[in-house]
């Protein structure tokens, strides 16, 4: 295994760090409220970062999402890339790729996904019916990748007849919405449940990368606070309890990062990675919530201020903890995957 970024991946990551660092400031995030920073999204698209994901792969996307997570930038980058760009590129027909990819590359089209499949949507006579309680970035989406009860994938236009979108406020400000489908005609993507499993694994890996960035940003803020804040005549960072809590948070963050890197690398190298994607998702859930709790606690009373930047990391970390399956759910799935692999080895 070699997770060393290529020149293209490093260049894209550096550009993303510059754009997010310059534009995703506390004041802009506060002004955006619970919606998307439209100007930041335009800048990312003008820089060619969504389109670059086709060339730099899932590992490259994970690196870019780390930079987004550090600043909790409110743009539909992860959703549009995994449910739109990569899903269509890997599972679409030649006609679908030719028609859909240009808009997803330049950002004029935004995709999101009604994932994971929980039986809320079913098909009848080729039409889609049902509801999904909340879908991230739905208020910005032009395309929605819907997984039905049989785990078939359907591309649905957000403005199509029979599609109803109602704004929903979630823990993190992800411009989410409730999706209701009433006789909607979508178009199939991929051949069946295999495509669903592949997109879900890619999404879990990508959002684990986003969680690694959220945790890194939270920890960086906690370090800055404890180094500069004094108590009894010395910095808080000199207290052993503070040092140990920060060290644990650092190790948890690295575990999220390295498991996301491994899953993404295996995906790009065309190796089986179902177990690795679930492992990354488990670390993102279990370790992620530990880190963002630590980041907030290490700020003391300041961390309880809802307007403080570290609180945004806390909200994102808890949202990512449960999105696409909480720790217990993905651990159960991982056990089934490992058991199935062992049965194949012994049969």
Mean pLDDT by 10 residues, the chain (347 residues): 88 97 90 88 96 96 98 97 98 97 96 93 93 96 96 96 95 94 95 93 98 97 85 78 92 98 96 96 97 92 83 95 94 93 60
pTM above 0.85, yes or no: yes
Return the pLDDT at 112.
Answer: 98
Where would I find the beta strands (DSSP E) of 168-252?
A: 177-184, 187-189, 230-231, 234-235
Other C-beta atoms closer than 10 Å to the C-beta of 337 total 17
pLDDT at 82: 98
User: Which residue shows structure tokens 């449960």?
Assistant: 322
Instruction: Output the pLDDT for position 343.
Output: 60
**What is the per-residue pLDDT for 233?**
75
Helix axes 274-297 and 240-268, enclosed angle (nearest 10): 160
Rounded distance between C-alpha atoms, residue 318 and residue 327, angstroms: 12
Tokens of 302: 């300041």
Sign of the Cα torsion 325, 329, 332, 336 reads: negative
């Amino acid at each position: 295994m070699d997770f060393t970024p290529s020149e293209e991946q490093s260049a894209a990551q550096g550009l993303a760090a510059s754009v997010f660092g310059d534009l995703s400031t506390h004041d802009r995030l506060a002004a955006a409220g619970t919606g998307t920073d439209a100007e930041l999204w335009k800048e990312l698209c003008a820089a060619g970062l969504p389109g670059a994901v086709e060339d730099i792969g899932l590992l490259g996307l994970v690196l870019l999402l780390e930079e987004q997570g550090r600043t909790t930038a409110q743009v539909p980058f992860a959703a549009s890339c995994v449910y739109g760009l990569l899903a269509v590129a890997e599972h679409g027909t030649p006609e679908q790729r030719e028609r859909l990819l240009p808009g997803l590359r330049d950002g004029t089209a935004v995709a999101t996904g009604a994932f994971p499949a929980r039986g809320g949507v079913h098909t009848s006579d080729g039409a889609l019916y049902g509801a999904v309680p909340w879908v991230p970035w739905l208020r910005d989406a032009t395309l929605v990748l819907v997984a039905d009860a049989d785990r078939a994938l359907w591309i649905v236009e957000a403005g199509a007849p029979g599609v109803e979108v109602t704004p929903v406020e979630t823990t993190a400000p992800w411009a989410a919405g409730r999706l209701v489908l009433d006789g909607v005609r979508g178009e199939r993507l991929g051949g069946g449940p295999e495509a669903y499993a592949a997109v879900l694994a890619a999404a879990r890996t990508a959002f684990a990368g986003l969680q690694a960035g959220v945790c890194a940003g939270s920890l960086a803020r906690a370090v800055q606070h404890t180094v500069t804040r004094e108590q009894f005549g010395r910095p808080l960072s000199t207290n052993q309890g503070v040092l140990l809590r920060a060290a644990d948070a650092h190790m948890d963050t690295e575990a999220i990062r390295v498991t996301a890197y491994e899953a993404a690398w295996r995906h790009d190298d065309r190796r089986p990675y179902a177990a690795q994607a679930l492992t990354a998702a488990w670390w993102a859930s279990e370790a992620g919530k530990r880190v963002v709790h630590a980041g907030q606690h290490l700020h003391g009373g300041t961390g309880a201020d809802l307007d403080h930047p570290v609180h945004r990391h806390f909200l994102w970390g808890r949202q990512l903890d449960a999105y696409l399956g909480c720790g217990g759910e993905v651990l159960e799935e991982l056990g089934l995957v490992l058991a199935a692999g062992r049965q194949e080895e012994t049969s």
